[in-house]
Structure 1
Amino acid sequence: MPVSRRAVLAASALAPLAPCLSWAAEPLIRRPIPSTGEMLPAIGIGTSRRYEVEPNPEAVAPLKAAVQSFVSLGGSVIDTAPSYGTAEDVLGLILTEPGLREKIFLASKVDTQGRDATLAEFERSLKRMKVANLDLVAVHNLIDVNENLAVLRDLKRDKRIRYVGVTVWRDGQLDALEAVMKRETLDFIQVNYAIDNRAAAERVLPLAADKGVAVMTNVPFGRDRLFKAVQGKELPPVAKDLGCTSWPQVFLKYVLGHPAVTCPIPGMAKVAYVEDNLAAARGTLPNPAQRKQMETFIDAV
């Protein structure tokens, strides 16, 4: 039976975080987009699964509250895709809030083949989210990557998008991702990376640093795999040194401790999760020795 984040937090005496805690006044860590120097808050929202609800006011209300809290606490990056069910439609309802779109770094993807189909998909994304342009569009899972990158570069030239990238989400795609990174000029990549899934750190993350490419990281909790591993376990001593009060903060601080990582994008469908996760982007990040301690602990559970 899957173990949820809720179960892990409920089992931890240290987990509950009140929104009035002093960390909320501390600014979020920000990381640069290497191609421009634009600074981004170091944790974003990923909309896969969590935002795939019926696009009606009742179902969207808690997600809207989560996004509003996210922005009020200094967040800006929201990542979605046409293939994430109703997520783009849901964002379309949320982003109608006056003044909200201007505070969001909005990223989506293309995942079809052929120039005409890709342009049509892009236009559908704009329509679904009720926006005029996007900050980042990436080629999802390297689908028709050469043609789709050409289309995205044309959209960037026409100022309909600001940044271009590519994405993967499993280790079996890392070799292909590395090949694309070596031959193409990219603003962003998105890759799977977590404390128990460190394959991207072997070659992809160092290559991104060398090439000046921003890195979004997906599934930082391993689709709840990590929560299952630590259920019922106390936080390790290094957590206190880093100011962590929950397991999600430990997992996110580990990811952010890699200097090539720009922004992990965990799913955050509740205000409490937003408050908890964003605390990981404040204060101290682990140094190499602490990261090794964290790896050793997780590898042993």
Structure 2
Amino acid sequence: MKTFSRREATKSIACFTLGTAILPALPSVGTNEMTTRKIPSSGQPLPVVGLGTWQTFDVGNDSAARERLSEVLTKMKEKGGKVIDSSPMYGSSEQVVGDLTSRLGIQDDFFYATKVWTSGKQAGQDQMESSLRKMKREKIDLMQIHNLIDWQTHLKTLKDWKELGKINYWGITHYTDASHDTLARIIKEEQPDFVQFNYSINRRNAEISLLRTAEEHGTAVILNRPFDGGSLFSSVRGKILPDWCKELGINSWAQYFLKYLLADEAVNCAIPGTSKPKHVVDNMMAGYGRLPTQRERQKMLDYLKTF
């Protein structure tokens, strides 16, 4: 089955709406701000929409791609986004993030999150030092154990690095529903500053217990795969947004999907990935305006069931 891309979905929706606005309606500069939520372990406010870099920032030295990504970062900053999430697993992404933010002179305007993705204490330390160099940081805001690889070993290193001031926060990550019970157990036992996991409007396993566990134990939540790897855009092919979306400031399907997630107060930040400037603006705007109530969230779910 062909995967229906966000670009194709936007084009198709435009044909069906007969003039109804689908791209984000942007507020005037200075008249609104993105919603923030405090990191439980510190009280530091964090904007609720950030940026993932898997695949999208793995462009090496491609000058045209780097120019486009420079615009992505610039527009993200303009709209109030801060969290940039990367990993050594993501090819050249860490290096590209470091190079571009430095060249643009905005390197101190973001919250940098990356990961350790290897086994063994020394290998982990070496990899994390490499990440700092690539991202051109003396200190990383958040270092996470990627997909729980050798997590018991890296746990002590991350706690030591936080104590030494080499990182501000430490966390754990995964991207599958099957990992949620393990993530919840580690949250209860080790009290990480952050947990990152998969959650989308059509894959809501995290609602069973993981979100509440993180909230109860003071662990900040970052969401990956908020568009379910892009499959959500396939599910709304040729479908129009209902009129009541205007009440929620929802002007695109991306905002529909993101606002549903952000309405849960346990969520600190969602990190959709993109390499397109117009899409990063669209994503960022999901963090503006009011968020759905629980009743409105159910209405959003019910509408999708009509397709």
**Which interval holds the TM-score relative to the shorter structure?**
over 0.9
Contact 1:82 1:109 in 2 (8 A): yes
Secondary structure, aligned partner of 1:138? strand
What is the root-mean-square deviation in Å for CA atoms of aligned residues?
1.5
- Matched residues, number: 300
> Given residue 255 of structure 1, which amino acid in structure 2 is its aligned partner?
L
Distance 2:211 2:56 in 1: 27
* CA distance in structure 2 between the aligned counterparts of 1:249 and 1:274, rounded to whole angstroms: 11
Contact 1:196 1:299 in 2 (8 A): no
Larger displacement relative to structure 2 (123-132 or 43-52): 123-132
Matched with 2:277 is 271
SS of corresponding position for 1:101: coil
Q: Is the 8 A contact 1:195 1:298 kept in 2?
A: no
What is the CA-CA distance between 1:23 and the residue it aligns to?
7.5
2:32 counterpart of 1:26? yes
Which residues of structure 1 form unaligned runs of 5+?
Answer: none
The equivalent of 1:48 in structure 2 is: 54
Unaligned runs of 5+ in 2: 15-20
Q: Deviations along 1:51-73, whole A, 9 cap, x unmatched?
A: 11123433211011100111122
| Contact 1:23–1:282 (Cα < 8 Å) also in 2 | no
- Find out whether 1:138 has 2:144 as its counterpart: yes
Q: Which residue of 1 aligns with 2:42?
A: 36
Match in the other structure for 1:4? 5
**2:24–2:285 CA contact under 8 A, matched in 1:** no
- Deviation at 1:126? 1.4
Cα distance in 2 between the residues matched to 1:126 and 1:149: 18
2:171 counterpart (132, 151, 165)? 165
For residues 108 and 231 of structure 1, what CA distance do their matches in structure 2 show? 34
Give the direction of change, closer, same or farther, for the CA distance of 1:98–1:9 in structure 2 (3 Å limit): closer
Instruction: Please say if 1:281 is aligned against 2:282.
Output: no
* Kept in 2: contact 1:253–1:285 (CA 8 A): yes
- Is contact 2:6–2:233 with CA below 8 Å preserved after alignment? yes
Q: Is 2:123 aligned against 1:117?
A: yes
| SS in structure 2 of the partner of residue 97 of structure 1 | helix
The CA distance in 2 between the partners of 1:200 and 1:160, in whole Å, is: 31
**1:128-149 residue CA offsets vs partner (Å, 9 max, x unmatched):** 2222221000111111111111
Instruction: Give the alignment of 1:217-256 within 5 angstroms.
Output: 217-256=223-262
TM-score by length of 2: 0.94
Asked if 1:16 is matched to 2:17, the reply is no
User: Which deviates the most, 85-94 or 96-105?
Assistant: 96-105
Q: Deviations over 1:65-91 (max 9, x none)?
A: 100111122111100000011111211
Residues 17, 272 of structure 1: 8 Å contact kept: no
| Contact 1:24-1:279 within 8 A present in 2 as well | no
Deviation at 1:24, TM superposition (A): 7.3
Change (3 A) 1:3 1:23: farther
- CA offsets 1:128-183 (integer angstroms, 9 cap, x no match): 22222210001111111111111111111111100000001010111111111111
Listed one character per residue, the Cα deviations across residues 226-267 of structure 1 (whole Å, up to 9, x for unaligned) are: 000001001134422211110000001001011100000001
1:195-244 superposed Cα distances (whole Å, 9 cap, x missing partner): 00100111100001100110000011011110000010011344222111
Name the CA shift for 1:224/1:162 in 2 (closer, same or farther; >3 Å): same
Q: Distance in 2 between matches of 1:291 and 1:117?
A: 44
**3-state SS of paired residue (1:12):** helix
What secondary structure sits across from 2:118 in the alignment?
coil
Q: Which amino acid aligns with 1:113?
A: S
- 1:62 aligns to 2:63 (yes or no): no
Which secondary structure does the structure 1 equivalent of 2:172 belong to? strand
Give % identity: 38
* Structure 1 length-normalised TM: 0.96
Q: Provide the residue aligned with 2:18 in structure 1.
A: none
